[in-house]
Amino acid sequence: MPLPPLTFPPVRRPARRPSPPGRTLRPPRPRRALRPPRLPAYPAKRAVDLLGAAALLCAFLLPLLIAAALLCAAGGRGRVLAREPVAGLDGRTFRTWRLRTAGAGRIGRVVHRCTLDAMPQLLNVLRGQMSLVGPRPQARTDRPERLLVRPGMTGLWQVSARSGLPWEEMALLDRHYVESHWLGMDLAILAQTPRAALEHRHA
């Protein structure tokens, strides 16, 4: 015996409430674009940045001045300091300082291998634009998670294998740092940075 066809009750839509007299309906507001959540600020990390940058600046001030004088003598009348625009915390653009080693020949290569060319970025750390540890500063990026923290002078991939890693693995290490960094990780990276710089110098 065939079954009777299924029937569904009609769907009742709720009646719209009439707007009060003299009041016009406003168009809905456009939704704001979603932004990635900003990580909480760590006062201890900022304190380490200030103390570490001040100590390193005092320790490397004399070698930095000597390197700048040599570069000035080798490079002619060109500017010794190069200022490069990079994207910082929340995408705010600022300029980093670096010794200009291009065109200085052998002296420029020696200064670059001794990592003295990046020492002027300690001024960016003191100003709060950079951190001692963080993702490598870049002019532009297609990875928004990098903008959740301040860029750093050294980082996780620099102490892992210096510049021998492919770009994809560098990006993964930077993302891992952004998602799971804490003060202990920063101190461990800072402790391993001299060894990594020495290995790169003799590579």
**pLDDT tens readout for residues 11-44:** 455 555 655 555 554 555 554 443 444 455 568 8
| Residue 51 predicted with pLDDT over 90 | yes
Q: What percent of the chain has pLDDT over 70?
A: 72
Strands 152-154 and 93-99: unpaired
Predicted TM-score of the model (pTM): 0.71
Question: Residue 114 and residue 63: Cα distance in Å, rounded?
Answer: 10
What pLDDT was estimated at residue 29? Answer: 56
* Pairing of β 81-87 and β 93-99: antiparallel
Report the pLDDT value the prediction gives residue 34, as an integer from 0 to 100.
Answer: 38
Over residues 106-134, mean pLDDT: 86
Contacts of 96 (CB under 8 A, 6+ apart): 83, 84, 86, 121, 124, 129, 130, 137
Provide the mean pLDDT of the chain.
Answer: 77
